[in-house]
Structure formats: structure tokens, C-alpha cells
Amino acid sequence: MQQFLSSVAPFLARFTSSSTQQNPAQDGGEDGFTSLNTISYCNSKLKETINLDSGNFPVTAKWSQVVAAFLPVQEHWLPMSNLDLLLPPLDFGIFLGYKNNGTGKGPSPENMVAVLKKALAQALVSFYTLAGEIVQNRHGEPEILCNNRGLKDIDLYRPDVSVHGKLVPVKMHGVLSVQVTELKYGGLFIGCTFDHRAAGDHTANMFPTAWAEIAQAKPIMRLPSFRRSLLKPRCPPQSHKSLDKLHAPLLPMPPPPSTDDQDHLTTATGNDCSKMVKLGIVVDGRTRLSGKTTSLESYFGNVLAIPYVEGSVGEIQMMLLKEVADMVHECVAMASTVEHFLLLIDWVEMRRLNSAVVKVYCKDENDEAAVVVSSGQRFPVQELDFGWGKLDFGSYHFPWGGETGYVMPVPSASGNGDWIVDMHLKKRYLDLIETRASHVFRPFSRVHI
């Protein structure tokens, strides 16, 4: 994994570009994305059938509906942890693909949707924060209002040519949106969009796993815990000036791309060797903070740090790959300690009224490129069976705005050891990876499912 991380920075140091998005729908064919019927759970009113067309990838919104926990939830406010407060208000998604089994003996799409809807209402009893909404408290800080409002409005009126707004819903309200998309020849896609302040990739894995277990009438193997006291600051809180370098004042995040906008990673720059390249690495703190008597494996919330390493374009171009790898290793090692996470919790506590965000999210004018790399190797590809077969394809999706890129490898559902690497980068970086590293990275196509 660290070899993978260290290979990203040299690519970014050498190339810049403007970008246009590729259309993933060009293949078509059996279970191709040439014609779709979309069933979305959000609005209490049944919508008229709306034909949505974006190039050769049309979507028809059939109907939508509120889905809430099927048992009453006592309304209450749940504060964010100090680590949640370091994340800006941005969304991320997961999408799960299931092929038609080809036998003609499987459940109909209508029956599959009915199973998903019933199991979703049951799952929200335990994962009740996902049926709430994020509001500000009297201090201006975000908190989760657990009011069982339900999964609300999915906007399908202006989809683009990517999975965003097509297979992964655009979340307009609340903490979670869910969309089920029926493919023309019987396949099915499930897309979920989460508010990152309330759920990270670990917790986003917990929810669909429990949802699938309920759909098969199995007990939930890992019930979520919302004990914010597990991440409480020390008394008195301590801090370290090195954390000031890793964070910046919180400013509004740019919106994710729309069909009227070019790719937000399109800014063309010159070959200025003095400009900086930033590489942020997501470090999971669950195992590091878990003690002999307390485990954070079931904790529902963010337990992560995002340190970053930087160097000028000129410096990185002159470095050997091993030297870049050593930089990355040192960066990860610095944040991979219990003390780093305790200091981070304390650092936020000492600045509670001055909202901050991880600095690598904020690419400034002196940056040639900024990219965050995370690991999705715990993506539960073998556990997401809702009753009609194993997952055929699944991945994360980060449609955030701004000019910071994102790279995240996840295991292939084929179980053969391959990785599916989700990349949100400038097009020229992607072209470079395909040409210079074609022996490692191959463009994803139907043959990989």
C-alpha cells in the first residue's frame, strides 16, 4: 500500500492539465447502462415518470418515497465528536452492482426493491442517526438531530455522465440518501450517499452490511455504538504546534460538479517547479485508540487523521522513488500513534469556536496539485448479499468540489486479489497513469465484473 501511495506524488509533480470527463456508458450491451429505470426512496409524493437524458445514458425516475425507521425513535440531539468536527460539510457515496443471474429464476426487480425497502426501515432502527439531519446548535457547531425524519429528496433532474447523479444519488437533505437503479436487462445498482461528518468509510461499510444481514433475516453482527465519550478530550487538554500546520480555518466547500460546469479539477497551470505538491494520507485511528477494555470497531463516526507530505515540483522530479516512499512512510508513521489521535482530539477542544478543516482539502494558489489517498481494503465485498447473490461490483464515490483529488483502492468483488481504484483526478493524470503504469492499472470495463 505504501508503494502505491509513494507512486502518486511523482505523477502529480510532472503533469498538469485541463479535463473532460469520460462517459462510462459507451459500452452498452447486456446489462450495459444504455437504458435505466430508477427507483429512489425519498419524497413522500409519488413523482411522475421523468425521462432524464445525458448523452446516451438516459435515466427514468419512476417513483420516490420516504423511508424511516419502522419503530419510533425518541427525538434527541447527538453531538459530533471532536474528530467529526475536523471534516467539512461534504458527501461521499458507495455503489453496489449486481448482475442478472441469467437463469430467469431470480426475484423480479419489484420484489428486490420490496426486500430492500423493508430491510432498510428495519436497519434504520439501529442506525437511527442516518434517518436524522444535521443542524447547528446554539454555538454554531453541527449536531445530529435524531428525529427519524427519513431518507429525503433525491434530485434526479440534472444528472451528468458519471455515476454521480446517475447511480449514486445527489443528497439534498438529511444524513443519507439511497437510490436503487434497475438496469435494462435485469441487473441492479444500489447507491448510498452519506454526509461525511456523520459517517466515514468504516461506518459506511457497517451500514450496508447490516442492511444485507436484515434482508436475509440474519442478526446484525455489529451493532453501531454512538458513545461520543470514547473520544472525549483529556483534562486538561494538550496540544502540539505541529497540528497547526495540518489544518486551516473552515471555509465553504465548492459544490460538486454539475452538467453545466467543467470538471472542477481542470485548472491549467504552468510548469513552475517552485509550486508545491501535497499528498494527504487517511490514517484510521480505531485500532490505535482501542484499549484492552474498549473497542472502537463498532463506533459509528469518524476516527481518522489526514496528515500530508509536500514537496515542490522541482524537488520531487529530482527524487528517486525510494526517497518519495520514505517521505510518505515518515508522514504515515507520525500519525499512526495513540498520542497523535489524543493530541488531535485535544487540539479541536482548545479551538472549539474556531472551526478548522484538514489543510490538504484546501488547495491554494501555490499548489500544483493536492490529492488525498485513502484505503478501502476493508470494503465488505463478500458480505453484501441481499438474498439474490454476491456483489459483482462495488466502490466508493467522492464527488466533492474544489481542486483536491482523491484516490481510493478497494478489493475487487471477484476475490482474485485485484484492486478497483477510484480516482478523482485531472484527466491528464489519469491518461498518464494508463500510459506509464498500464502494467499495473487497467481501465475498468465489463470484463472485470
Q: What percent of the chain has pLDDT over 90?
A: 33
Q: Which domain holds residue 343?
A: 2-448
Domain tally for the chain?
1
**pLDDT above 90: residue 223:** yes
Region 4-24: mean pLDDT is: 39
Q: What is the pLDDT of residue 227?
A: 94
- Higher-confidence residue of 251 and 221: namely 221
Confidence of residue 416 (pLDDT cuts 50, 70, 90): confident
- Cα 383 to chain center, whole Å? 19
The pLDDT value recorded for residue 29 is: 35
Report the pLDDT averaged over residues 290-306. Answer: 86
Query: What is the pLDDT averaged over residues 437-442?
Result: 82
pLDDT, one tens digit per residue, over 105-124 is 778 888 888 899 999 999 99
Local structure of 94: helix, strand or coil: strand
pLDDT band for position 282 (50/70/90)?
very high
pLDDT of residue 162: 52
Mean pLDDT of 129-136: 94
**Sheet of strand 367-373: strand arrangement:** 308-312, 276-281, 367-373, 404-411, 419-424
pLDDT band with cut points at 50, 70 and 90 for residue 259: very low
Report which residue type is found at 434. Answer: E
- Cα separations in angstroms, 24 against 57, 88, 402: 9, 29, 22
- The pLDDT value recorded for residue 252 is 59
For residue 445, what pLDDT is reported?
Answer: 74
3-state SS, residue 153: coil
Domain of 128, CATH number, reads 3.30.559.10
pLDDT above 60 for 261: no
Closest CA to 86 of 338, 339, 351, 310: 351
The least confident of 9-18, 72-81, 125-134, 395-404 is 9-18
Between residues 300 and 448, the one the model is more confident about: 300
The band of 30, judged by pLDDT with boundaries at 50, 70 and 90, is: very low
CA dist., res. 308 & res. 285, Å (int): 16
C-alpha to C-alpha distances, 366 to 104, 171, 186, 274, 314, nearest whole angstrom: 58, 32, 49, 8, 13
Predicted pLDDT of residue 133: 94
Percentages helix, strand, coil for the chain (3-state, rounded to 5) are 25, 25, 50
**What pLDDT is recorded for position 270?**
47
Q: What is the pLDDT of residue 8?
A: 47
- CA distances 288 to 15, 49, 285, 345, Å, are 37, 50, 5, 14
The 3-state DSSP class for residue 13 equals: helix
What would the pLDDT profile of 206-219 be if each residue is shown by its tens digit? Answer: 999 999 999 999 99
